[in-house]
Amino acid sequence: MKNIVVVGSQWGDEGKGKIVDWLSDQADVVVRFQGGHNAGHTLVIDGKTYKLKLLPSGIVRPNKVSIIGNGVVVDPWALLDEIKQIGKQGVRVDESNLILSEAATLIMPFHKEMDEIREDAAGKGKIGTTRRGIGPAYEDKAGRRSIRVMDLRSETNLDSRLENVLQHHNAIRKGLGKKIYKKTELKKQLLEIAPKILRFARPVWKKISEYKDKKAKILFEGAQGILLDVDHGTYPYVTSSNTVAGAAAIGSGCGPDTINYVLGITKAYTTRVGEGPFPTELTDKIGKMLGTRGKEFGTVTSRERRCGWFDGVLVRQTIKMSGINGIALTKLDVLDELDEIKVCIGYELEGENIDYLPAAVEDQLKVKPIYKNYEGWKSSTKGIRNFDSLPDKAKVYVTELEDFIGAKICSISTSPERDDTILIENPFDNAEKRSGHWNI
């Protein structure tokens, strides 16, 4: 086997789209295993830009199978709209190249409204969600009252499931003075789209098992980043799913022995969308410059991202949490104009030096970064495809990052273009060497 999990090693937006696209060209199957249409990937292929939310990155390439796993929460209307929009760009999506888990939870209109109600009511305590109903849908999944893809097959079953979930939501809505959802109208809407959704529905665990037997190369694609993991991230300012590499097995129904290699996508600086702790955040002109040069706006929401220096402590921490074997370093060229570049190598918390981010949000907000300073290279790295062609000071920056975080940097991205990449090691080659071993 040559199977790879790709995860973001920071707070998401690390440039996974480009890397996953490059890897999907070598893969046979691409699996999305968590999240929803709150997280997007931007792909640039032959000058054409594709913005994906729910659809796996492999969908834009011919002769690849894309899978949406059981760990994903799916807005069925958003999925159909995305299929329609990408079809306008010449990408065909049908049963031959898209499989949707029959066990995936569906996002309902009342989930989105509940997301909005909570964020608006939270004031300064808001999480900074995308208001797309992701969290409320995962809550219903954990509460065993969600509607799943398979429920669309039976009108009788759908009626029962709607009765159950609306009993819960309407009680809350009534207490908040909001309109009550009528089961008949929602049921009608779901039955109208059911055939369009069910055409893709399959037992994903079974399909992946079949692909394993055929020795297919499987690429597991994570959304967001490890620091947004509901268990291991900066809680409560996190997403509602597990974003660590281990979630690939759970969110697709395969055993841990399916995974041979974990690739962490890592930006050469740090960004974050929404609220929450950010020890190395820059609110000065340098932070603004990073955002401008890096085009740091969300694929899904267009929200401006917060920017800061590379946090080596956090990346080293996420590498350990997710069993990351190799790092794909992205957006190195964004740093080209800086006179000085800083890297966080430790924290100070109430007068004590610590080498990790503590779990309590109160402490996370108090930590002060300890920096190591590097001279900027002050020359363009954009489009460079060979490590030896990098400026000497850029080489120092990259190699010292690698030493500090404790994981091999196997590629360096020097522009959004797919081919502007310095390839040091191919993860699929390493996955073959590690085949049969669980590395997470």
- Bridge partners (DSSP) of residue 72 are 35
Q: For residue 36, give the DSSP letter.
A: -
Helix runs in 8-92, H state only: 16-24, 76-87
User: What single letter denotes the amino acid at residue 421?
Assistant: T
Distance CA 405, CA 141 (A): 36
Q: Is 13 a catalytic residue?
A: yes
Q: Which tokens go with 325?
A: 């074997």
Answer yes or no: 28 catalytic: no
CA torsion sign, 134 to 135 to 136 to 137? positive
Measured at the alpha carbon of residue 84, what is the angle toward residues 225 and 40, in degrees to the nearest 5?
10
Q: 3-state secondary structure string, 225-260?
A: CHHHCCCCCCCCCCCCCCCCCCHHHHCCCCCHHHCC
- Beta pairing partners, 373: 342
Place of tokens 């089961």: 183
Q: Which of 319, 317, 297, 318 is nearest to 307 (CA)?
A: 297
Closest CA to 384 of 339, 350, 335, 349: 335
Q: Rounded to the nearest 5 degrees, what angle is found at the Cα of 228, between the Cα atoms of 411 and 367?
A: 95
Contact by Cβ (8 Å): 56, 28 = no
- Taking CA atoms, 355 is separated from 237, 311, 348, 370, in Å, by 21, 11, 9, 10
Identified catalytic residue from 13, 140, 151, 420? 13
User: Among 10, 1, 2, which Cα is nearest to 327's?
Assistant: 10
Q: Which residue among the candidates 21, 37, 41, 229 is catalytic per the annotation?
A: 41
Helix (H) or strand (E) holding 176: none
Number of C-beta neighbours around residue 98 at 10 A:
21
Q: Omega of the bond prior to 358 within 30 degrees of 0, cis? A: no
Task: Report CA-CA distances (Å) from 416 to 26, 49, 95.
Answer: 19, 10, 31
CA-based diameter of the chain, in Å? 68
Burial class (CB in 10 A: 0-12, 13-18, 19+), 396: middle
Q: Looking at the annotation, which residues are catalytic? A: 13, 41
